[in-house]
Amino acid sequence: MVLKRNWRVFFVVACAFASVAASAAEMRLALDPAATPVHYILADPLHTVHGAFKLLRGTIVFDPETGAASGELVVDATSGQSGSNGRDSRMHKSVLESAKYPEIVFKPDRVEGKVALEGDSEVSVHGVFRIHGADHEITVQAKTHFAGDKVTAEIRFPVPYVKWGMKDPSNFMLHVGNTVQIEIDAVGRLSTGEVK
């Protein structure tokens, strides 16, 4: 009788530890490049330019307890297009120099705010943004929705490309903003992972 009771106590304690371990596990979010558009918005006095890039790959690993994060989002810089061949040619040749710098990369290192593993959250993700051959420390805003292993996220942040050393394409006939807004509508799957 005592032995049976001890086994019950052991089982309850083991279940409790398993639950704590599961809740503290690092999570791995693998993005679907085909379902994750990367949009950019650039304002000028006459109209607003809307364009898009293609995501090559994206994985974010994070610890929901500590906020530690790793992984990377990699965008194909050569894929940028806005619907105007002349404008896109200037962007690739003079601003991004995408033939020389073909990838744009964001590497997160921490998540600020509580990530709800079911339902909606609003968090900030800090990390390093590499563009045009240089690294820049940034914090991006993200609205996430978790439903089982399916995750969607709206990621928004400005890129002050002129301040970061890229050429201002404005001239005496055309003036454009020196900051571009990036909007990523991410879709991915969640699994357990490892923070490196």
- The enclosing domain of 154 has a CATH number of 2.40.128.110
Query: How do the pLDDT tens digits run along the chain, 196 residues long?
Result: 544 555 554 444 444 444 334 445 789 999 999 999 999 999 876 678 899 999 999 999 999 999 999 999 999 999 999 998 988 998 999 999 999 999 999 999 999 999 998 999 999 999 999 999 999 999 999 999 999 999 999 999 999 999 999 998 776 556 678 899 999 999 999 998 554 4
Identify whether 12 is part of a domain: no
DSSP assignment letter at 24: T
Residue 18 is assigned to a structural domain of this protein: no
For the chain, the domain total comes to: 1
For residue 152 the two structure tokens come to 């969607």
How many angstroms separate the Cα of 50 from the Cα of each of 34, 39, 83, 132, 179?
19, 7, 9, 20, 13
Task: Let me know if residue 21 belongs to a domain.
Answer: no
CA–centroid distance for 102 within its chain:
18
What count of other Cβ atoms lies within 10 Å of the Cβ of residue 188? Answer: 21
Contact 141, 157 (CB under 8 A): yes
- What is the pLDDT at residue 18? 43
Tokens found for residue 148: 């089982």
> For strand 119-131 and strand 103-112, is the pairing parallel, antiparallel, or unpaired?
antiparallel
Could you tell me if 74 and 104 are in contact, meaning their C-beta atoms sit under 8 angstroms apart?
yes
Residue 99 falls within a domain, yes or no?
A: yes
- Cβ atoms of residues 77 and 103 within 8 Å: yes
User: Which phi-psi region, left, alpha or beta, contains residue 89 (left: φ > 0; alpha: ψ -120 to 50)?
Assistant: alpha
8 inside domain:
no
In whole angstroms, give the CA distance from residue 161 to residue 138: 13
Give a yes or no: residue 15 inside a domain: no
Instruction: Establish if 10 belongs to a structural domain.
Output: no
Looking at the whole model, is its pTM more than 0.85? Answer: no
Task: Print the domain residue range for 131.
Answer: 26-192
User: What is the pLDDT at residue 174?
Assistant: 60
